[in-house]
Amino acid sequence: MSASTPVSAAPPPVPPVSTPPRAVAPLAGFFIDLGIAAVTLVGLSMVSGLFWGFYRAIVVSRANAEANGGLTPDAVGAAVGQPGALAQILMALIATGGAALLLYFWRRPASAGERMASRQALLRPSTWGWTLLVATLIVLGSNGIAFLSKQFGIEPVPTNVELMQSAIARFPLFLVLFAVVLAPAYEELLFRRVLFGRLWQAGRPWLGLILSSLAFALVHEVPGVSKNSLLGMAQLWLVYGGMGAAFCWLYRRTGTLWAAIAAHALNNAVALAAMVFLGST
């Protein structure tokens, strides 16, 4: 090469290839959220149970003192007893509601844009049309599954039925407030906004639908706690899982969590009415 030959300029550096986010990251976030929810729920249940126990011990001790110590230690323990319907509902409200609020504000708070979009969705008539349709299909589907299962001798009893029946007899107005207003709100906040919403935001809505619905079913019928047979548990899981999936779909279809909350509330209201007027479980 002669000295007069121009030296070619060095090629520009190749820009680094952007590495897409790992697919496992959203899934890890989901299970982290689920773990935090489980620990919080169990912890708050234990704390509220301890407070109830202390309260009952104080009440019984005062009654024993007024009776000049007439109760034996065994009688005092029996008088403390187990939490009644109202206490159990309040514990569930504190535990699950507390877990939902913690996860929402810590892990999945709604942005200003999301809140605006949700308010706009509430103004669309189609939002309420879809809500009524989904609530109706859930009621029909749940009863259809129960009818078919009954033909094969499978008639499970949900674990919360005894509690609901006791609460209806003693605290009907509070039960309506809890089952139709409070429980749908905090359950949708936890299972749809936090758990499903994380994977939906990551572009994996169907995985979020499956996993959050499975968690929803297992929370309502905890393995090892129910007295139902395995087939009976499977039927209840199918019903609760189907409900969870329907609420996920409705949330995504309408763009507002309020639609899922409303459909959930309607379903619970129908179930309560059936329990009161038809004796249904």
Q: Is residue 64 part of a domain?
A: yes
Containing structural domain, residue 89 = 27-277
147, 148, 153, 156 alpha-carbon torsion, rounded to 10°? -60
Of the chain, the percentage scoring pLDDT greater than 70 comes to 86
Q: Is residue 8 part of a domain?
A: no
Q: Is residue 17 part of a domain?
A: no
Q: Is residue 269 part of a domain?
A: yes
Residue 174, Cβ neighbours under 10 Å: how many?
Answer: 15
Stated as kind and residue range, the H or E segment containing 65 is helix 24-66
Looking at the structure of the chain, the number of domains it has is 1
In a 13 Å sphere around the CA of 102, the CA atoms on its Cβ side amount to: 17
Report helix, strand and coil shares of the chain as percent, to nearest 5. Answer: 75, 0, 25
Q: Is residue 179 part of a domain?
A: yes
pLDDT tens for residues 176-229? 999 999 999 999 999 999 999 999 999 999 999 999 999 999 999 998 888 889
Q: Is the pTM of this model over 0.85?
A: yes
Query: Could you tell me the sign of the dihedral formed by the alpha carbons of 230, 231, 232, 238, in that order?
Result: positive
pLDDT category at 17 given cuts 50, 70, 90 is: very low
Beta strands, E only, 134-220: none
DSSP label of 255:
S
Stated as kind and residue range, the H or E segment containing 131 is helix 125-151
Q: Is residue 192 part of a domain?
A: yes
Q: Is residue 5 part of a domain?
A: no
Q: Is residue 46 part of a domain?
A: yes
Tell me, what's the pLDDT at 63?
74
